[in-house]
Chains A and B, each alone.
Chain A
Amino acid sequence: MAQLFPKIANTLFRVAIVGAVLGGGAVTGAVMLYARSPYFTGSMNGKTQPIQFSHAHHVNGLGIDCRYCHTSAEQVAHSNVPPTKTCMNCHSQIWVGSEMLSLVRDSYKNEESIEWKRLHRLADFAYFDHSIHLAKGIGCASCHGRIDQMQAVYQKGTLLMEWCLDCHRAPENHLRPRDQITNMAWSADQYKDPADPEKVWTQYELGTKLKEQLNVRSLITCSTCHR
């Protein structure tokens, strides 16, 4: 009886075994990578908004504090996108004829909301509270990045659970004095301790000090965020 398999079958079989292991690994790896890719998480992706509002201009150029528009961030879970009225506080006085602002004026006049495209979309089963993060001294920039340098805002973080946990496990890496939460350009070396003005602080040192001072916990049990 003739050979059922040609000799090359041995080699092919070995290659197939190695290939299956490597290939399986590659597929798993690819899925893992994909799940973390900006394509999936939406991070680093901007969107074309109906109005070309520039945070860089308003924050960096004009020095408007975040909380002038995002009024509820310090009070409730949800940080609001400002109502048209907030825009009109200034723009009924300046740039009243600007073409770029016609949508704002129309919205105000016709009582029709501006439809902004949503950038940050946390999973529905995660319950994030802006107010408590700000109260503990997590700056806006820690999660949202340098909004003051963004002409069009994009999502900075991945909003994956591991991204949250990075900070929840070690909040000292991100804590800052509570009066600096909206300071976009803040870093620990700007901190001056009145008792020891010469000392140059590292984030870890300062974070540890603030963590102790406010008794900040590292909350990583499930019901902290999932209900």
Chain B
Amino acid sequence: MSIKPVVTDAHQNEPKAAPKMWRSLEELLEKPDFQSMLNREFPSQAGEFTDPLSRRTFLSLMGASLALAGATGCRQPAGLIVPNIREAEGTQPGRPQYFATSMALGGYATPVLVKSYEGRPIKIEPNPQHPSLAGAPEGVSAGTDVFAQASVLGMYDPDREYPLNFEGNTTSWEDCQRGLKKSLTVLDKGNQGSAIRLVTGLVTSPTERDLIERFLKKYPGSRCHQHEPLASDNGLEGNTLAFGQALEAHPVLHDAAKKVRADVIVAIDTDLLNQGPGHLALVRQFGDLRDAASPESMTRLYAIEPTLSVTGTKADHRLAARPSAIPALVSHLAHLLGAAGGKPAAGLDAAEEKFLQVLASDLKEKSHDHTGKKLAKAESRAGHTVVVAGPRQPKEVHALVASINAKLGNAGKTVHYRAPLAGGRPLASDNSLAQLTEDMQAGRVKFLLVFDGNPAYSAPADVAFGQELLKLSGKKECTTAYMGLYQDETAIKSQWRIPQTHYLEQWGDLLAHDGRACLVQPLIAPLFSGHSAAELLAGLIAVESDPSKETKDAPIVERQGYDLVRRYWKSWFDQKRGATPELGKFKDFESFFRSAVHDGWVAGTSVAPADAKLNEGGLAGLALPAKLAGLEVVFAQDDTVYDGRFANNGWLLETPKPITKITWDNAAYVGYGTALKELKLDLKREKRGDKEYIAPAKSFGITGGEHGRAYVDVIELEVGGQKQMLPVWAQPGVADGVVVVQLGYGRTRAGRVGGMLVGEGKASPDKVGNGKSGDVVGVSCYTLRSKARLWSAPATAKVTGKSHLLACVQGHHSMEQDGRPVPLVRIGTLAENAKGPGWVEGEHGGEAHASEVPHGAPGHVHKEGDDSHGEEKGRLPLTLLPAEHAPMAGYEYGKHVNRWGMVIDLNRCTGCSACVVACQSENNSPVVGKHEVSRGREMHWIRVDRYFQVNFEDLDKASEVRTYHQPVPCMQCENAPCEQVCPVAATVHSYDGLNDMVYNRCVGTRYCSNNCPYKVRRFNFLQYTDYTTPSMKLVNNPEVSVRTRGVMEKCTYCVQRIRHAEITAEKRAISQAETEKKGITREAQPKEAGKVQVRINDGEVVTACQGACPAGAIVFGDMNDPKSRIHKIKNNPATKGLNYSLLEGLNTFPRTTYLAGLRNPHPDLEAPANKG
């Protein structure tokens, strides 16, 4: 049986005036190769068996394993049951427990809850009650980022395993402490304290800071150097110019309790929604300000940036500018606003001039309402805007921004100034890595202890730390020690290599972005016998016994992480107790500490904003750095490996980067203008009309182009005499004259996943392999950095003639209609939407198709469920089948079972991809590697489609590129095309309407995937799951089956969580019914009174993607429950009309729907599009 599709021609709905939306350039160009790819489910090589194994070896292996299977498969394998001696308090085997802890990233805390099964942490969830993430609406948890989600895998990483060793000889923790202490004592006694040096990253941990201070005091003359490759002091220095004191600026976009809201947000070269401490709180606040339910108060985001950042993709107006041009633009803006320090800039072009003028007036007052109508009287916006400058911008820009915020009345409201949270910031030149390296060269260093970082890899090119460390380690009289998670680039150059504990294995504390102290507690005993940095430091300064234990300055005797953290907070509590009212509720230290460990944060530690007074006189003479000519390289944080520390994490390497969708690599991103003008790349050219344009993939047409296999040119980038070869990626939206490189790749001692070069060798793109174990991933761009130019630098580039394969997923899983690619993301402006939601439906959604729905057909029940599926608007005929043949005719979801559904709010989604990693972690999805990704075989159950909206002719106009994100999980169709073609009924509907995937029935025909219009099914072409590495077995979620080769899989709506909640609700109802002597009903609106309803409350089922989403873009729930958020969204007059399904003309009735995105452009910068 088949259902004839009723076609609504969505791509014709695009107004003629609006630019085209597309995912890959081939799609935009409508290339024949793309077309043929589109009509296949998988790229051409996806089904081929092209493993390095020869066919003969494969067959013999298969034969052997079959024989073995025969030998072992006859009987159930024997097993043991090993119960505990005593059951720990509050534990039950099989019941997961949640513990609050914090992950350190760049020194700051990401508050998390960790789910643990029998002492085995398996999943990171956000800590919903953490005040530093506050601002979440009711019933919505805060989120996490990709790094936190993937950190579980990092903990179980078998490559972390290395013995504590001295120049390769295994030794013990005690010997190590004794050895280090002996060297320290010798130096101390010989009055050579100044030869003792520590190297740390950015440290916010109060306990660690205390220990470092004690260390420096104990060994007079010793010094602590800091090296955090992504930390910047520009903000602190800028605020020193503006306020006379070093202050950190902390933006607040929305705080309902304090009536703080930023109606206009200006992001100046900052990815504030995706990077930096505090971005999780900011993105949530931003989401709330962009809520489609209240369009009249929607915020407007302006971005001025050289790269296309995640924040830039959410901007209503974006001005692409090279980094060295930005100071003049900001100064001009300050001038237009009348802020101190502002000077008119010369040489602005008309577009920039207009952008800044509109921006300035918008910052001052609200002139138009949300429908685009001019207000009779403009309303002042004083205190309701915020301007944020990014860490890459020089201090002058930060000073100007402080001045602008002061002028706009934002200080104390949308931006708070606090004293620096991290120790030793701004970094004195004496404490820099550069100074240390100089001292090492001059022989002034005899003892060096490095922890928290990998400076031998991440030092700028002109700081030869690695070389000096190697030399130092070779000297008998010198001692070098390194403590880290891996035996990495720095470790192998040191004498002592000390394994460190992962944050899930240690006690500690950290500060959140707003200064609140967060506790770190271990979830598991150290897997690879590591110790924490605090324990190492304590071991070097602790005394055997302490007669005056009670006093504050008494020497420490503790050596265990737990005791050290307790000791610090005990003395803090005793000191602060009287003065801090928040501590009044604790009767003693014990209850205070228990509550801190339980909650994950320490009460009474929030840092009050400082009183900052603008020093206007100091700003008057501000000299701006000069604008550069020629190419300019920008060094950016990587979206998935951070500064390189996550380079051995397969989940992160395989997560497509939010904008470029490249996996397993980094590249030099250039705008289309740059690629043409400056690089003179020999790129393939496309003739359109009488103009010639470039196509990014060099050999497109032979290999399937961007469909996972993009062969791109390799350029040689030269920055200040340092050369590096990099694959080049033409990226719409990158400012003219700018080359963006991401740091963190090209690790040579990361591990089996991230790269392990044995012996001497240099990574370069032509040497980089295809993702085989140990191959170096990407290219290091730290080698292009210099200490004077950490963030951007003038550069030259030339084409080498070589090419490199990038595994890019932007062309994978393209959805089509009528054999043509269709953009399925719907974005309108507020003004358009004010006229009614008709723009969401498109012109073919008229009443003409309305028809009476036969009883029992899947459409019929929707009315009872009362959500906004198509038929209610009378847009679609339901099914052409008679009622009794309709799929799932017997199930009336509307009546008595939960109707699970998901709404994804395109307004809130930033494309950060935390959902992708969360899903991978929850559902045991395997990592497949670059080689497999380049064949379209990645296994993510949820993908984030990224659309560009710009016409081909305007590709080089970086400011005009608009970017949208659309997460696509399984649509859970009620009328599922996959089910109709499965010959073995391996995918069928459940009683509550879920589209179940039954792995054990699946024989791997892949028909379902071919027939899936949304391309959300994933096939295990090979044995991807690691069944052999012991620690990799531990990371799996015990509630989800681990799939093997030859099995299809897809998003299940986290059915394990649904079933768990269902069982809980059933048990609750039964015990209630028993006490009240009543019957039980499952009807949504029970007709008979006096029965107990089985009710899964809203929020009891949170899918992994929903839980991880920091923006709150994913809402999951029971559409039959009138109290559920999803029901409200689908019935709220403001959002109902925005709710749409993908490819609804196919009559699949997806349970997953989308809220169309709304943009809020300023009418003076963008005239309302002439639609309909």
Which of A's residues lie within 8 Å of B, judged by CB? 39-42, 71-72, 75-78, 80-85, 107-108, 111-118, 121, 124-125, 127, 129, 131-132, 135-136, 178, 212-215, 217, 219, 221-224, 226-227
A127 in contact with B1059 given A40-B75, A42-B75, A136-B1070 (CB within 8 Å)? yes
A78 interface neighbour in B79, B94, B994, B1042, Cβ under 8 Å: B94
Q: Give the complex CA separation of A78 and B1081 in angstroms.
A: 27
Quick check: A78 and B93 within 8 Å, CB to CB? yes
B81 interface residue per 8 A CB criterion: yes
Quick check: B86 and A85 within 8 Å, CB to CB? yes
Question: Least Cβ distance of B887 to chain A in Å?
Answer: 14
Quick check: B86 and A84 within 8 Å, CB to CB? yes
B95 interface neighbour in A76, A111, A118, A121, Cβ under 8 Å: A76
A-side interface mostly: loop
Quick check: A124 and B988 within 8 Å, CB to CB? no
Question: Least Cβ distance of B985 to chain A in Å?
Answer: 9
Quick check: A125 and B999 within 8 Å, CB to CB? yes
Quick check: A223 and B1052 within 8 Å, CB to CB? yes
Q: Give the complex CA separation of A217 and B990 in angstroms.
A: 13
A83 in contact with B1082 given A72-B95, A223-B1055, A226-B998 (CB within 8 Å)? no
Q: Which residues of B contact A125 (CB under 8 A)?
A: 999-1000, 1041
Quick check: A223 and B84 within 8 Å, CB to CB? no
Question: Least Cβ distance of B115 to chain A in Å?
Answer: 15
Q: Which residues of A contact B996 (CB under 8 A)?
A: 221-223, 226
Contact bitstring B346-379, A, C-beta under 8 A = 1, else 0:
0000000000000000000000000000000000
Question: Least Cβ distance of A67 to chain B in Å?
Answer: 13
Q: Which of A71, A83, A178, A223 has the most CB of B within 10 A?
A: A223
Quick check: B1079 and A222 within 8 Å, CB to CB? no
Quick check: A114 and B83 within 8 Å, CB to CB? yes
B85 interface neighbour in A113, A117, A118, Cβ under 8 Å: A113
Quick check: B81 and A215 within 8 Å, CB to CB? no
Quick check: A83 and B1070 within 8 Å, CB to CB? no
Q: Which residues of A contact B93 (CB under 8 A)?
A: 72, 76, 78, 80
Question: Least Cβ distance of B525 to chain A in Å?
Answer: 15
Quick check: B95 and A75 within 8 Å, CB to CB? yes
Q: Which residues of A contact B81 (CB under 8 A)?
A: 81, 115-118
Q: Give the complex CA separation of A115 and B78 in angstroms.
A: 12
Quick check: A223 and B990 within 8 Å, CB to CB? yes
Chain A, Cβ-Cβ closest to B1041? A125
Q: Give the complex CA separation of A124 and B889 in angstroms.
A: 32
B1089 interface residue per 8 A CB criterion: no
B 992-1010 contacts with A by CB, 8 A? 994, 996, 998-1001
Quick check: B80 and A118 within 8 Å, CB to CB? yes
Quick check: A113 and B84 within 8 Å, CB to CB? yes
Quick check: A83 and B86 within 8 Å, CB to CB? yes
Q: Which residues of A contact B999 (CB under 8 A)?
A: 125, 226
Q: Which residues of B contact A136 (CB under 8 A)?
A: 1066, 1070
B 58-78 contacts with A by CB, 8 A? 74-78
Q: What are the 7 A-B residue pairs with the smallest beta carbon separation, nearest first?
A: A78-B94, A118-B79, A221-B990, A215-B1080, A223-B996, A116-B81, A83-B84
B998 interface neighbour in A71, A85, A222, Cβ under 8 Å: A222
Chain B, Cβ-Cβ closest to A130? B94
B1063 interface neighbour in A72, A116, A132, Cβ under 8 Å: A132
B29 interface residue per 8 A CB criterion: no
Quick check: A224 and B1039 within 8 Å, CB to CB? no
B1134 interface residue per 8 A CB criterion: no
Q: Which residues of B contact A108 (CB under 8 A)?
A: 85
Q: Give the complex CA separation of A115 and B1041 in angstroms.
A: 26
Q: Which of B82, B994, B1073 has the most CB of A within 10 A?
A: B82
Quick check: A224 and B1000 within 8 Å, CB to CB? no
Quick check: B79 and A221 within 8 Å, CB to CB? no
Q: Which residues of A contact B1079 (CB under 8 A)?
A: 212-213, 215
A83 interface neighbour in B78, B83, B989, B1056, Cβ under 8 Å: B83
Q: Which residues of B contact A217 (CB under 8 A)?
A: 991, 1082
Q: Which of A77, A127, A214, A227 has the most CB of B within 10 A?
A: A227
Quick check: B990 and A224 within 8 Å, CB to CB? yes
A227 in contact with B85 given A72-B94, A76-B94 (CB within 8 Å)? no
Q: Give the complex CA separation of A209 and B8 in angstroms.
A: 51
B186 interface residue per 8 A CB criterion: no
Q: Which residues of A contact B74 (CB under 8 A)?
A: 39-40
Q: Which residues of B contact A219 (CB under 8 A)?
A: 991
Q: Which residues of A contact B1070 (CB under 8 A)?
A: 135-136, 178, 214
Q: Give the complex CA separation of A8 and B1003 in angstroms.
A: 44
B1074 interface residue per 8 A CB criterion: yes
Q: Give the complex CA separation of A13 and B1079 in angstroms.
A: 68
Q: Give the complex CA separation of A125 and B1000 in angstroms.
A: 8
Q: Which residues of A contact B1071 (CB under 8 A)?
A: 135
Question: Least Cβ distance of B1070 to chain A in Å?
Answer: 5
B435 interface residue per 8 A CB criterion: no
Q: Give the complex CA separation of A26 and B1071 in angstroms.
A: 51
Chain B, Cβ-Cβ closest to A80? B93
Q: Give the complex CA separation of A75 and B999 in angstroms.
A: 28
Quick check: B1059 and A227 within 8 Å, CB to CB? yes
Q: Give the complex CA separation of A92 and B94 in angstroms.
A: 28
Chosen A-B contacts, 25 in total, with CB atoms closer than 8 Å, are A39-B75, A72-B92, A78-B94, A80-B92, A80-B94, A83-B87, A84-B85, A84-B86, A108-B85, A111-B85, A113-B85, A115-B82, A117-B80, A125-B1000, A127-B1039, A135-B1071, A136-B1066, A212-B1079, A213-B1080, A214-B1073, A214-B1080, A215-B1079, A222-B988, A223-B994, A226-B996
Q: Which residues of A contact B1059 (CB under 8 A)?
A: 127, 223-224, 227
Quick check: B994 and A116 within 8 Å, CB to CB? no
B1066 interface neighbour in A71, A115, A132, Cβ under 8 Å: A132
A121 in contact with B83 given A127-B1059, A215-B1080, A226-B1041 (CB within 8 Å)? no
Q: Which residues of A contact B1080 (CB under 8 A)?
A: 213-215
A127 in contact with B95 given A115-B82, A221-B989 (CB within 8 Å)? no
Quick check: A227 and B1039 within 8 Å, CB to CB? yes
Quick check: A129 and B1063 within 8 Å, CB to CB? yes
A85-B87, A114-B83, A117-B79 are known contacts; what are 9 more A-B pairs with Cβ within 8 Å?
A: A42-B75, A75-B95, A76-B93, A78-B92, A83-B84, A222-B988, A222-B996, A224-B990, A227-B1039
Quick check: A115 and B80 within 8 Å, CB to CB? yes
Chain A, Cβ-Cβ closest to B1066? A132
B231 interface residue per 8 A CB criterion: no
Q: Give the complex CA separation of A85 and B85 in angstroms.
A: 6
Quick check: A135 and B83 within 8 Å, CB to CB? no
Quick check: A135 and B1066 within 8 Å, CB to CB? yes
Q: Give the complex CA separation of A8 and B1052 in angstroms.
A: 62
Q: Give the complex CA separation of A131 and B1071 in angstroms.
A: 12
Q: Give the complex CA separation of A112 and B83 in angstroms.
A: 10
Q: Which residues of B contact A75 (CB under 8 A)?
A: 92, 95
Q: Give the complex CA separation of A223 and B1052 in angstroms.
A: 9
B 1055-1075 contacts with A by CB, 8 A? 1055-1056, 1059, 1063, 1066-1067, 1070-1071, 1073-1074
A221 in contact with B95 given A108-B85, A127-B1059 (CB within 8 Å)? no
Q: Which residues of B contact A221 (CB under 8 A)?
A: 988-991, 996
Q: Give the complex CA separation of A129 and B1059 in angstroms.
A: 10
B 388-438 contacts with A by CB, 8 A? none
Q: Give the complex CA separation of A113 and B994 in angstroms.
A: 42
Contact bitstring B1000-1044, A, C-beta under 8 A = 1, else 0:
110000000000000000000000000000000000000111100
Q: Which residues of B contact A131 (CB under 8 A)?
A: 1063, 1067
Quick check: B83 and A116 within 8 Å, CB to CB? yes
Q: Which residues of A contact B83 (CB under 8 A)?
A: 80-84, 113-114, 116
Quick check: B75 and A121 within 8 Å, CB to CB? no
Contact bitstring B1099-1130, A, C-beta under 8 A = 1, else 0:
00000000000000000000000000000000
Q: Which residues of A contact B84 (CB under 8 A)?
A: 83-84, 113
Q: Which residues of A contact B86 (CB under 8 A)?
A: 83-85
Q: Give the complex CA separation of A127 and B999 in angstroms.
A: 13
Quick check: B79 and A121 within 8 Å, CB to CB? yes
